[in-house]
């Protein structure tokens, strides 16, 4: 029978899986990858295409998660120190999940909406300075006791829009960073890397 070669798509899949298995011991990770590669060879020899094989596989991230969960369940090392690490981690992570993350998320949305409103207010202030429209006369764009009209209102609106948008983006990135930090910290605790 002719030698079968693994395609680039299957190699990419294995590379992604390798990256997601970073928390497992190297020997265990090597065994998983070797077994999977052998399975790929067998399936290719039996006539399946690379596309068919990949279509039947879970995503590399999901498969790695299954292997990591299985490895965690199989380890029966629950010492007093490890138990204390779990209690400490879940205590402060619960506080972060209940207080910090919702606050940052709400701030992100609020700042981004404030940016849009500031820009719209700047446009209305610009129009109010040049065009006499009855509903605009009732709207006031006040900055430190002064009503802004015309170009000054537009410039202030744009500046505030930029500031609020930057604050919104920073709040959103902070939310994502904290979530990723907690996920990595949890994995590190599971594998006694802290």
Retrieve residue 93's tokens. 């992570």
Evaluate if residue 23 carries a pLDDT over 80.
no
**Mean pLDDT on 94-121:** 91
**Mean pLDDT on 23-29:** 79
**Under a CB-based contact definition with an 8 Å cutoff, are residues 182 and 96 in contact?**
yes
pLDDT of residue 194: 43
Retrieve residue 39's tokens. 């399975």
Tell me the pLDDT tens digit for each residue of 126-184: 887 677 777 666 776 777 777 777 788 889 889 999 999 999 999 999 999 998 888 87
pLDDT of residue 105: 93
- How many percent of the chain have pLDDT more than 90? 21
| Annotated domain spans of the chain | 8-74, 80-190
Evaluate if residue 1 carries a pLDDT over 60.
no
pTM across the whole model: 0.54
C-alpha–C-alpha distance, residues 112 and 155, integer Å: 18
Evaluate if residue 44 carries a pLDDT over 80.
yes
Retrieve residue 58's tokens. 């879970």
Which is more confident, 32 or 137?
32
**Mean pLDDT on 63-74:** 72
Evaluate if residue 21 carries a pLDDT over 90.
no
| Separation in Å, CA 100 to CA 41, 105, 114 | 48, 9, 21
Evaluate if residue 69 carries a pLDDT over 80.
no
**Mean pLDDT on 53-66:** 84
Which is more confident, 73 or 111?
111
C-alpha–C-alpha distance, residues 158 and 170, integer Å: 18
Region for 81 from its dihedrals, namely left if φ exceeds 0, alpha if ψ lies in -120 to 50, beta otherwise: alpha
- Widest CA span in the chain: 87
pLDDT of residue 163: 96
pLDDT of residue 136: 67
**Mean pLDDT on 88-103:** 82
């Amino acid at each position: 029978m002719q030698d079968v070669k693994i395609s680039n798509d299957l190699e990419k899949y294995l590379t992604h899986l390798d990256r997601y298995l970073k928390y497992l011991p190297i020997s265990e990770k090597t065994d998983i990858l070797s077994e999977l590669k052998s399975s790929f060879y067998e399936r290719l020899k039996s006539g399946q295409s690379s596309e068919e094989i990949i279509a039947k596989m879970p995503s590399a991230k999901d498969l790695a998660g299954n292997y990591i969960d299985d490895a965690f369940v199989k380890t029966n090392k629950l010492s007093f120190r490890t138990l204390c690490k779990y209690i400490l981690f879940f205590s402060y992570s619960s506080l972060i999940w209940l207080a910090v993350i919702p606050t940052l998320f709400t701030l992100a949305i609020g700042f981004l909406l404030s940016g849009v409103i500031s820009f719209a207010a700047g446009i209305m202030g610009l129009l109010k300075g040049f065009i006499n429209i009855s509903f605009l006369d009732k709207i006031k764009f006040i900055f430190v006791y002064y009503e802004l009209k015309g170009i000054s209102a537009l410039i202030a609106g744009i500046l505030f829009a930029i500031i609020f948008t930057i604050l919104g983006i920073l709040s959103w990135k902070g939310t994502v960073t904290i979530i990723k930090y907690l996920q990595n910290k949890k994995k590190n605790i599971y594998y006694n890397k802290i």
